[in-house]
Structure 1
Amino acid sequence: MAWVWLFLGGVSEVVWAYGLKASEGFTKPAVSVITIIFMIISFYLFAKSMQIIPIGTGYAIFTGLGAAGTVIAGVFLFEETMGPMKVIFLLLLFVGIIGLKVTTKEGQEVSGEEE
């Protein structure tokens, strides 16, 4: 379940990152409130996942999902460009996220030793 919390936290991070842009510096009250709610949700889910997933792996995946998702949202929602080099580096980011996931066992202590 910790991996689900981590994934949903990363997705929530994309929502609040988008909200930061859409709120225009918190000048739009409704969008600002939604953004803050998703910030809280995002960090709550991240904190829940950290009860089981090692912090280094969890934080890297959390921020990686947020970064990758925000790049993709920027392309589709804000008409940002997606050139070949951006695609390559985005794919590298996904490879890193997947690699960290498949090489991490749930229940590892923060020190990296198994229980």
Structure 2
Amino acid sequence: MAWIYLVIGGLLEVGWAIGLSFSKGFTEPLPSVMTVILLLISFYFFAKSMKMIPIGTAYAAFTGIGAGGTSIIGMIFLGDKVSTAKIFFISLLIFSVLGLKFSSKDGMKKDENNPEV
């Protein structure tokens, strides 16, 4: 469940990162409010995941999901430049997040509320 929380938080990070762009330095009211709401919800899920995933793994995965997702959305929908190098490094980032997920079982924290974890 911790990784589900982490992925939700990372995907919401994509939303607030893009929202920052649309808020134009927090001068546009609606995008600004939406950005802050997404940021708060994103950090809520990130914090929940850290109860069960070590901080280094959680933070690296959280920011990797956010950075990779924001770059992909930027290239597909917002006119960011696409290059072979960008695609390679975003793919590397995604595989790195997956590697953290699959190599972190031994480093899992015990969840006090769920003894099976």
Instruction: Report the TM-score, using the length of structure 2 for normalisation.
Output: 0.89
Could you say which residue in structure 1 is the equivalent of 2:56? 56
Gaps of 5+ in 1: none
Corresponding residue pairs, total = 111
After superposition, give the CA deviation of every residue in 1:58-87 in whole Å (9 maximum; x if it has no partner). 100000000000101111221011100101
Tell me if structure 2 keeps the 8 A contact 1:52–1:106: no
In 2: Cα distance, 1:106 partner to 1:46 partner: 20
The whole-number CA distance in structure 2 between the counterparts of 1:69 and 1:87 is 12
Cα RMSD for the two superposed structures:
1.7
Q: After the TM superposition, which segments of 4 or more aligned residues of structure 1 sit over 3 Å from their partners?
A: none
Superposed displacement of residue 8, structure 1: 0.3
Which residue matches 1:19?
19
Unaligned runs of 5+ in 2: 111-116
Q: Normalising by the residue count of structure 1, what TM-score does the alignment of the two structures yield?
A: 0.91
Instruction: Name the % identity.
Output: 50
CA contact (8 A) 2:65 2:97 kept: yes
Equivalents in 1 of 2:20, 2:26: separation in Å?
7
Distance in 2 between the 1:107 and 1:48 partners? 16
